[in-house]
Structure 1
Amino acid sequence: MFSIRKTLASAIAAIVLATGAQASTTNVDVELSLLIDVSGSVDNNEFNLQRQGYIDAFRNSTIVNSILSTAGGRLGKIAVEVVYWSSSNAQSRVVGWSLLDSASSISDFADTLASKARTSNGQTAIGSAIKFGADSIASNLFDGTSKVIDVSGDGENNQSTSAMEGRDYALNLGITRINGVAIGGTSLLDYYEKNVIGGTDAFALQASGFDTFGAAIERKLKAEIEGTTPSPVPVPAAGLLLLSGLGGIGAIRRMRRKSTV
């Protein structure tokens, strides 16, 4: 009998310890879910440019310094995941939640992303992708001062949950802000502003094409890590007409939509 009781007590203790381990969280400055478009409208060359934009950003000394900065009471660490998305059931977490708290961990994160091939090429289900990111943040083992979903894509939602439904779902779940990078013309930037981004100080950046995506990503990440919004890129007067025709490189629209939580 004693042996049975001892075995039962040991089992209960193991369950308690396991539960406690699962319940513990790591405090970070930002929880960042990066949602990268791999829908059918994105060809393989464009996918590579998009992925490389993120890789280069996390290898950029400015971004590394922003992550590790303890200025203003920051902790100097963030948690990041990368999700490739297309159709409503085609989200793929290619890089799981990673703690970036040193130059080496940031470098490892960039190297891991560089090894991740494309996972799908379906429809453009932005709303479903946002919901996936929100659920992922809600269930991870980090506790960030800011909880951010970042959507990059080259088209409007055309399947399943609407972008607005996904946005509202995420805000109701406690996401701080949903930002976006619209890869295309001003009409897509308008769509992202009205339907995708949300939360306090949320913003949408525009990359006129996949070849300008990297510059927009670096500006976006710096703002998200530091809890700010990016300032528009200064443009010489002689270049204003050209940029107005191209739709701009890294143009910005902001939406200060308060969370309904």
Structure 2
Amino acid sequence: MSWRTDALRRTLPATALAMVLAAAMVLVALVPARAQPAGGEPVDVALVLAIDVSRSMSREELAIQRRGYAEAIASREVLRAIEHGPHGRIGLAIFEWAGDFHTREVLPWTIVESAADAQAIAALLLEEESSSQSRTSISGAILRSMALLEEVPFAAERMVIDISGDGPNNQGPPVTQLRDMAVDRGITINGLPLMTVDGFARYFAIPDLDEYYRRCVIGGPGAFVVPVHEWNEFPEAVRRKLVLEIGELAPFHDPWRQHHDGGVLPVVPAQFAAEEPYDCLVGEKMWRDRRDLFYDGGR
């Protein structure tokens, strides 16, 4: 590992280096990604929902997120996708994230195979409000998601991380480092970039957040992005995304395209062909240039 360590020291701050190396040491010690826990109940997918609660979101927007996820999980479309799977059940875990110092468990690993299961989760999501926290560490959210997938108590056919967020990574290790670690473990990362720009969000927003997610965040087999431009699109976007993830459908097999008009939200698959370079450190640079505007740690 020495040459990798030296390379990282030249490119990362000490705190970021420590986190990346700690993550690498944990991952190296794990069993191969496709090996499943002995005796675990079989599920079609082990799905982690990582929900952004960074300070750029208002209380109302946080509530919209909670309602959107609750409605989607209990929706007819998502339940149908679960029922049509080979095992007819999925494993689901949910947590909220902001900076790499803040993750909050909302739902521990839970089997979802019936309407009653889904409605119980929806009720849990609606029981309390989300609380916003400072900074935006997508890399920290991926690291926490990988730890959850390491501990999944089910025999999962697939492992998927579903990340929502309204800005680029601005704290913790570079997001591409953690994305590549997850993909190397056989994990797929999909993205729900929230491209709403209002209130505090405008200070750290980027106009091409969907492209940032596509180029810097998502990865793995069948990875895709569903961008949200207006908050009224959020519930449908979450339903659509969950159906694709649970059903292991490629974006071009999206059932929404068969039932909706031309105004349907786009699904953007990951691209693997060579492309022009993209700055995946744009969030870190924006934070460096603008952090003095805020006294409390900002977003």
TM-score range normalised by the length of the shorter chain:
0.7 to 0.9
The question of whether the paired residues in 1 share the 8 Å contact of 2:74 and 2:115 is answered with no
How far 1:64 moved relative to its partner?
1.1
Partner of 1:64: 79
Aligned amino acid, residue 222 of structure 1: V
- Whether 2:142 is the aligned partner of 1:130: answer yes
The question of whether the paired residues in 2 share the 8 Å contact of 1:199 and 1:256 is answered with no
CA distance in 2, matches of 1:116, 1:127: 26
Partner of 2:48: 33
Structure 2: unaligned runs, 5 residues or longer: 1-36, 197-206, 273-299
Aligned amino acid, residue 138 of structure 1: E
Q: What's the C-alpha RMSD, in Å, of the aligned pairs?
A: 2.0
The question of whether the paired residues in 2 share the 8 Å contact of 1:181 and 1:205 is answered with yes
Deviations 1:92-131, CA, capped at 9 Å, x for gaps:
1111111012221111111112224214421110011011
CA distance in 1, matches of 2:170, 2:186: 26
Matched residue SS, 2:44? strand
- Residue of structure 2 aligned with 1:113, choices 105, 114, 125: 125
The question of whether the paired residues in 2 share the 8 Å contact of 1:33 and 1:82 is answered with yes
How far 1:229 moved relative to its partner?
2.6
Partner of 1:53: 68
CA distance in 2, matches of 1:98, 1:131: 20
Partner of 1:182: 193
Q: Which has the larger share of strand?
A: 1
Structure 1: unaligned runs, 5 residues or longer: 1-21, 240-248
- Residue of structure 2 aligned with 1:201, choices 208, 213, 222: 222
Matched residue SS, 2:146? helix
Deviations 1:181-236, CA, capped at 9 Å, x for gaps:
11117600000000110001100111102221111111100000100133385654
Q: Give matches, 1:147-186, under 5 Å.
A: 147-175=159-187, 177-184=188-195
- Residue of structure 1 aligned with 2:266, choices 251, 257, 260: 251
Percent identical among aligned pairs is 31
Aligned amino acid, residue 198 of structure 1: G
Partner of 1:6: none
CA distance in 2, matches of 1:142, 1:91: 23
CA distance in 2, matches of 1:119, 1:143: 33
Matched length: 222
Larger radius of gyration: 1
Partner of 2:234: 213
CA distance in 2, matches of 1:132, 1:151: 11
Aligned amino acid, residue 59 of structure 2: N
CA distance in 1, matches of 2:114, 2:243: 16
